[in-house]
Amino acid sequence: MQQTRMLHAPHPAQHRLRARVPEKMLVALTVNGVETRLKVAPWTTLLDALRDHLDLTGTKKGCDHGQCGACTVLVDGRRINSCLTFAVMQDGAHVTTIEGLAANGALHALQQAFIDHDAFQCGYCTPGQICSAAGLMAEGRAKSADEIRELMSGNICRCGAYPNIVAAIQQAMGRS
Ligand code: FES
Ligand code: FES
């Protein structure tokens, strides 16, 4: 019995670590143009902060491991996988999700292009595809269909809508 207690007794260093890590931390984010303050556990991903704390469920959780791109959002204009960053790491950042792309009641050019080209089937990957494509366009590196395919390769579509997705992005880039 005494041996069992010893096996499960926390190491003194674990005690000290637990004492140092706060249960909740304050994070300031501007999400889709709205200044927001959140109290989250330090290990809360940006993805979970958006979905579970701000009810912005357009951003999807696929793999939760940086493999599928379903969680792509724009942070200070750059596309990132929101499952791979903690919310506290983005303190002070401007975040744009799929809910923030339309402006003044008009769809973003990419949203319209995805509709025009039927660039989705189940739609689960679509918010990530569109946010990633917005980041791609801002980067200005993709000039051809092959470059679009290459630079969008982090966004998986299990329905295989790839040709339509590329066509939609080309339309939004004014290259169709
Ligand atoms: Fe983030 Fe898959 S959920 S990359
Ligand atoms: Fe279904 Fe892409 S439309 S995963």
Domain range enclosing 22: 2-100
Q: How far apart are CA 29 and CA 109, in angstroms?
A: 25
For ligand 2, is residue 156 a contact (CB within 6 Å)? no
Both 129 and 84 in one domain: the answer is no
Q: How many domains does the chain have?
A: 2
Both 43 and 72 in one domain: the answer is yes
Could you report the per-residue pLDDT of 14-34, keeping only the tens digit for each?
Answer: 766 666 788 999 999 999 999
For ligand 1, is residue 81 a contact (CB within 6 Å)? yes
Given the CA of residue 64, which atom of ligand 1 is nearest to it? 3
Both 113 and 154 in one domain: the answer is yes
pTM of the model: 0.89
Q: How far apart are CA 101 and CA 109, in angstroms?
A: 9
Both 40 and 118 in one domain: the answer is no
Q: How far apart are CA 158 and CA 147, in angstroms?
A: 20
Both 91 and 153 in one domain: the answer is no
Q: What are phi and psi of 45, to 5 degrees?
A: -75, 160
Q: Which of 41, 71, 100 is the last residue of a domain?
A: 100
Nearest by Cα to 124 from 55, 60, 51, 48: 60
Could you report the per-residue pLDDT of 117-173, keeping only the tens digit for each?
Answer: 999 999 999 999 999 999 999 999 999 999 999 999 999 999 999 999 999 999 999
Both 94 and 123 in one domain: the answer is no
